[in-house]
């Protein structure tokens, strides 16, 4: 049955198109808030595409969970911002001078991260259909899962105790292992649990989502007025937009840990849990 394309998807397209036009016309507001603006449009578009394919989406069917993504996204990203205070792998330029304007930009930008990653992953998972499901299961032993947790935790502590720009890969590796082991132990959503059922579809969808969103983040950041620059020691002169090419590998693990961190933080929120924002059971 043919489904009508939701109106919020058209609004998302309009935000993207008008934002690009105003940016290149030198609009001061758009130059300052270009990144969160286009990601808001992108999120609306992704949600509408999901709704048109599935008949429902996070925004149309699980609105409370969708809105909860925004504060959880801010909390999630501040973990990495905190680590970056020590490693100094990126910095921001052309920030608004006013305190209120600056913090509005932070909150708006950081709040789009989880929705962007997770909705892109759901769209990809929908397009994959039943591929990568019903495969041979992989059953990690409790000892292996414990190994994930302790390895991730130790690597994270090493990053904090011996901060160096040369350790820039560690936050993206350590957090993934740490939360994978912790989530699996708590039974609040892990990839190990999916692998035990022979389901690899969402894992692959998240990796592809990380690649897509990573390229879009860097593409839109390249043209923005308020933006970030990188300071990493590995092939810094070979770039795609502002990002050294090796840095794009970090987006793949980042997408995976975004989902793990979301599930863990949502587990801590004292609200009823039926399904998560993507409709996955607890």
Domain that holds residue 165: 7-268
Residue 3: the pLDDT is 74
Residue 164: the pLDDT is 95
pLDDT tens, residue by residue, 34-58 = 999 999 999 999 999 999 999 999 9
Q: Is 263 part of any domain?
A: yes
Residue 282: the pLDDT is 82
Q: Is 261 part of any domain?
A: yes
Residue 4: the pLDDT is 84
Q: Is 111 part of any domain?
A: yes
3-state secondary structure the chain: CCCCCCHHHHHHHHHHHHHHHHHHCCCHHHHHHHHHHHHHHHHHHHHHHHHHHHCCCHHHHCHHHHHHHHHHHHHHHHHHHHHHHHHCCEEEECCCCCHHHHHHHHHHHHHCHHHHHHHHHHHHHHHHCCCCCCCCCCCCCHHHHHHHHHHHHHHHHHHHHCCCHHHCCHHHHHHHHHHHHHHHHHCCCCHHHHHHCCCCHHHHHHHHHHHHHHHHHHHHHHHCCCEEEECCCCCCCCEECCEEHHHHHHHHHHHHHHHHHHHHHHHHCCCCCCECCCCCEC
Q: Residue ranges of the chain with pLDDT lower than 70?
A: 1-2
pLDDT tens, residue by residue, 176-213 = 999 999 999 999 999 999 999 999 999 999 999 999 99
Q: Is 255 part of any domain?
A: yes
Residue 2: the pLDDT is 58
Residue 274: the pLDDT is 87
Q: Is 226 part of any domain?
A: yes
Q: Is 198 part of any domain?
A: yes
Q: Is 274 part of any domain?
A: no
Structurally, how many domains does the chain consist of? 1
Residue 134: the pLDDT is 87
Residue 146: the pLDDT is 96
Residue 155: the pLDDT is 97
Q: Is 279 part of any domain?
A: no
Q: pTM of the entire structure? A: 0.95
């Amino acid at each position: 049955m043919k489904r009508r394309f939701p109106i919020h998807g058209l609004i998302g397209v309009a935000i993207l198109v008008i934002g690009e036009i105003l940016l290149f016309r030198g609009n001061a507001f758009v130059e300052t808030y270009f990144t969160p603006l286009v990601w808001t449009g992108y999120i609306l578009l992704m949600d509408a595409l999901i709704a048109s394919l599935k008949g429902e989406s996070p925004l149309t069917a699980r609105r409370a969970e969708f809105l909860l993504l925004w504060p959880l996204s801010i909390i999630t990203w501040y973990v990495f911002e905190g680590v970056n205070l020590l490693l100094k792998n990126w910095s921001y330029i052309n920030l608004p001078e006013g305190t209120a304007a600056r913090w509005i930009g932070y909150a708006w930008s950081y709040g789009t991260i989880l929705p962007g990653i997770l909705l892109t992953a759901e769209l990809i998972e929908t397009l994959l259909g039943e591929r990568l499901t019903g495969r041979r299961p992989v059953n990690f032993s409790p000892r292996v899962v414990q190994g994930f947790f302790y390895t991730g935790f130790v690597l994270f502590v090493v990053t904090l105790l011996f901060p160096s720009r040369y350790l820039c890969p560690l936050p993206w590796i350590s957090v993934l292992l740490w939360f994978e082991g912790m989530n699996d132990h708590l039974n609040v959503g892990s990839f190990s649990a999916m692998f035990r059922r022979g389901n690899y579809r969402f894992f692959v969808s998240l990796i592809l989502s990380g690649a897509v969103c990573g390229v879009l983040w860097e593409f839109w950041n390249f043209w923005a007025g308020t933006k970030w620059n990188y300071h990493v020691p590995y092939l810094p002169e070979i770039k795609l937009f502002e990002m050294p090419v090796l840095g794009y590998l970090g987006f793949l693990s980042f997408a995976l840990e975004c989902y793990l961190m979301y599930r863990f933080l949502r587990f801590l929120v004292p609200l009823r849990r039926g399904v998560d924002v993507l409709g996955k059971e607890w």
